[in-house]
Amino acid sequence: MSSLSPLTGFCNMLVRFFEELKTTFPEQREISAALETIQGAKRINPRLILDMFYENVTKHLKEAIAKEDVDYIVSYGRMKINQQYNEIMSAITIFDNHWAGLSDSNRSAIWKYLKVLVALSEKAQSDRI
């Protein structure tokens, strides 16, 4: 039985994360659109998804995610969205728009997803080199 490549594992986890976000925030059209884009890119060019996440999240938010620093993530998200919007950033906007109203279990689930995604993105990037 073969195991999944780090890239496949990362892409699968990112799709699951956005599926969960879509279920939790069905009114957020940006999340639905991002999920569709990510699912399409996963089929056509999964490396693109990895590169986008790595460049926009892992490189800049790894420490903030590890520390669960909501304020830093909100600040970074606002700055990035004002400069250049991309599908990955729609997930970061939940910290700005919805964090205060989320249950502890939803917050915990989001942190777990982000921490795993950062680790998987680093593994997939290192396997690339």
Q: How confident is the model at residue 93 (pLDDT cuts 50, 70, 90)?
A: confident
Tell me if 53 is assigned to some domain: yes
Tell me if 1 is assigned to some domain: no
Tell me if 81 is assigned to some domain: yes
* pLDDT greater than 50 at residue 112: yes
Rounded CA-CA distance 42/7 in Å is 10
Tell me if 62 is assigned to some domain: yes
- For residues 109, 87, 43, 129, the Cα torsion angle rounded to the nearest 10 degrees is -80
Q: Domain range holding 21? A: 6-128
User: Average pLDDT of the chain?
Assistant: 88
Burial class (CB in 10 A: 0-12, 13-18, 19+), 27: exposed
Q: How confident is the model at residue 88 (pLDDT cuts 50, 70, 90)?
A: low
Q: How confident is the model at residue 1 (pLDDT cuts 50, 70, 90)?
A: very low
Tell me if 110 is assigned to some domain: yes
Number of domains in the chain: 1
* pLDDT greater than 70 at residue 85: no
- This prediction's pTM: 0.88
Rg, C-alpha atoms of the chain: 14
Q: How confident is the model at residue 92 (pLDDT cuts 50, 70, 90)?
A: confident
3-state class (DSSP) for residue 69: coil
